[in-house]
């Protein structure tokens, strides 16, 4: 177990180095490009297998306890340690991360985005995977910051070199926003570490903020929370997200929505809730307010983009939907209640599965029609996916109804539990304010259903015989392989939520009561 977790973090880096080397004789296949893409599928597949083995070996009777731990001194002068561990909060995120990277590598093997060398693409993908897995596995604040920052450069190049129109501007906006937020976050991390005389996240969580004064906690929450809010992203710090998603290649959008956004909300749960509880309680009402504004704002922006004549880009619309969905995650965290935090963690996983599937579908739709412009797709000829490509249309409709929170699918439980948590927040929080947030959030679910049903009606419905003849390929074999796991897990999590909540709830209960120890 100890080896498996260390392997998960280190293997992608070794795979990235190997991707840049010449392929050994006999493994080149039909071309060097094919060999390096096969290498990417193999490495991410091995990492996924290791993550599944880690989950199978995990003691499910003790999900609140850190398991598979490694604790080695790295920088003695600063008491920085290579401290790794996994519990019921981080295990689902590790599994989802490994799965999404494997599916993206598999999809890219058959549909590589236009750009420079495939070697660089695969190497960047693997460096990105190492950084995201490390973020969910490390238990030292400085290591968390390093892993948190490690993902910026590969994602910048994936957008800037393999993206579409306006990719340079979108990539610069992405990295400038996140770097500025990270500078402030580093100050907060240093403040906690110097004041408490340790950067160990387990020790800090177990102490539950008793070594930190109220002023220190307030400053730490403000600084670290700002950096995490940019990555989440929270309204009004979200403006980099629609541009980045619109310009990014398909797999870049899948990973950005499915994995990178989760790093911000994970930081709120893993660091701020247990380490600075007094500071979080002071800022929780404001965090809840920003969360519900983001829910309504994201939905209204999507409705505007979906309206006929507005030339709305479908990728941009899905990006704005992420602002709304992550608002529910932040609302659950702001409630500081076990129900709300469990809902936030569930919504994190549901959003990664469903929005990852949506970006796969929209990317494939753009490849088929040459555009993601909603007015063009619903114009005189119409995409009419139910008639032209029925399996593709059914998948898009499934992803849409899952995203709007249909009962029986994964999206329902996270949003419902987040609203329940806001309805009955932690003791000491202003209940009238959170009741208002609950009502506004519930209204946001109606707006979400409205814009997603408009998208399904405009893209999937229509007469395929109208206008000139247009042949559209239905779901291809490689697309079926990449998308089916996301569909299956969305249904499984929706029908059997205890599978995930059984992992997160004991860990959340202990975290809120005084940290994991």
* pLDDT tens per residue across all 517 residues of the chain: 788 999 999 999 999 998 888 766 555 556 667 888 888 999 999 999 999 999 999 988 888 889 988 888 888 877 788 889 999 999 999 999 999 999 999 999 988 888 788 889 999 999 999 999 999 999 999 999 999 989 989 999 999 888 887 888 888 988 888 888 888 999 999 999 888 888 888 888 888 778 888 899 999 999 999 999 998 889 888 888 888 888 889 899 999 988 998 999 999 999 999 999 999 999 999 999 999 999 999 999 999 988 887 777 888 899 999 999 999 999 999 999 999 999 999 999 999 999 999 999 998 888 888 888 888 777 644 567 777 788 888 999 999 999 988 899 998 999 999 999 999 998 888 999 999 999 999 999 999 999 999 888 888 876 666 544 566 777 888 888 999 999 999 999 999 999 999 999 999 998 888 744 3
Alpha helices by DSSP H, 248-337: 250-255, 261-267, 273-275, 277-306, 314-334
pTM, two decimal places: 0.92
Return the axis-axis angle of helices 314-334 and 277-306, rounded to nearest 10°: 150
CB-based contact 171:156 (threshold 8 Å): yes
- Residue whose structure tokens are 């190492």: 130
Is the backbone of residue 313 left (phi > 0), alpha (psi -120 to 50) or beta?
A: beta
Helix, strand or coil, per DSSP, at residue 69: strand
Residues 71, 49: Cα–Cα separation, whole Å = 24
Q: Which residues contact 261 (CB under 8 A, 6 or more apart)?
A: 231, 232, 233, 322, 326, 351
């Amino acid at each position: 177990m100890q080896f498996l977790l260390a392997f998960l973090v280190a293997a992608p880096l070794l795979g990235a180095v190997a991707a840049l080397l010449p392929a050994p004789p006999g493994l080149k296949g039909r071309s060097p490009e094919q060999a390096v893409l096969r290498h990417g599928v193999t490495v991410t597949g091995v990492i996924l297998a290791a993550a599944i083995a880690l989950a199978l070996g995990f003691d499910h009777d003790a999900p609140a306890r850190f398991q598979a731990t490694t604790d080695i001194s790295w920088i003695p002068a600063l008491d920085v340690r290579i401290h790794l561990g996994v519990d019921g909060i981080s295990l689902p995120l590790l599994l989802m991360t490994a799965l999404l990277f494997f599916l993206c590598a598999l999809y890219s093997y058959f549909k590589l985005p236009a750009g420079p060398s495939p070697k660089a693409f695969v190497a960047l993908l693997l460096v990105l995977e190492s950084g995201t897995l490390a973020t969910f596995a490390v238990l030292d604040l400085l290591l968390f910051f390093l892993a948190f920052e490690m993902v910026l450069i590969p994602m910048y190049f994936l957008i800037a070199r393999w993206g579409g129109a306006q990719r340079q501007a979108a990539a610069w906006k992405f990295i400038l926003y996140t770097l500025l937020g990270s500078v402030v976050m580093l100050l907060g991390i240093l403040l906690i570490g110097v004041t408490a005389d340790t950067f160990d996240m387990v020790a800090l969580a177990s102490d539950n903020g008793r070594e930190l004064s109220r002023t220190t906690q307030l400053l730490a929450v403000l600084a670290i929370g700002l950096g995490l809010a940019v990555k989440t992203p929270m309204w009004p710090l979200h403006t980099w997200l629609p541009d980045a998603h619109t310009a990014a290649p398909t797999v870049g959008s899948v990973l950005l929505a499915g994995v990178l956004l989760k790093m911000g909300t994970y930081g709120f749960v893993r660091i701020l809730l247990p380490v600075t509880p007094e500071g979080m309680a002071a800022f929780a009402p404001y965090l809840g307010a920003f969360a519900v504004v983001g829910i309504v704002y994201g939905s209204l922006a999507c409705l505007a983009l979906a309206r006929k004549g507005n030339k709305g880009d479908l990728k941009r619309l899905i990006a704005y939907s992420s602002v709304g969905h992550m608002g529910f995650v932040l609302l659950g965290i702001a409630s500081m209640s076990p129900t709300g935090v469990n809902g936030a963690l569930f919504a994190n996983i549901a959003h990664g599965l469903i929005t990852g599937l949506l970006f796969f579908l929209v990317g494939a739709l753009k490849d088929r029609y040459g555009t993601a412009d909603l007015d063009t797709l619903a114009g005189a000829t119409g995409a009419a996916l139910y008639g032209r490509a029925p399996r593709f249309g059914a998948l898009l409709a499934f992803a849409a109804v899952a995203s709007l929170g249909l009962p029986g699918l994964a999206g329902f439980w996270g949003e419902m539990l987040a609203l329940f948590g806001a309805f009955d927040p932690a003791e000491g929080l202003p209940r009238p304010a959170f009741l208002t947030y609950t009502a506004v959030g519930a209204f946001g679910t109606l707006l979400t259903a409205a814009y997603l049903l408009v998208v399904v009606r405009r893209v999937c419905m229509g007469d395929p015989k109208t206008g000139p003849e247009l042949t559209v390929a239905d779901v291809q074999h490689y697309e079926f392989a990449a998308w089916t796991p996301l569909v299956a897990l969305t249904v499984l999590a929706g029908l059997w939520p205890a599978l995930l909540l059984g992992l997160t709830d004991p860990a959340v209960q202990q975290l809120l009561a005084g940290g994991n120890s």
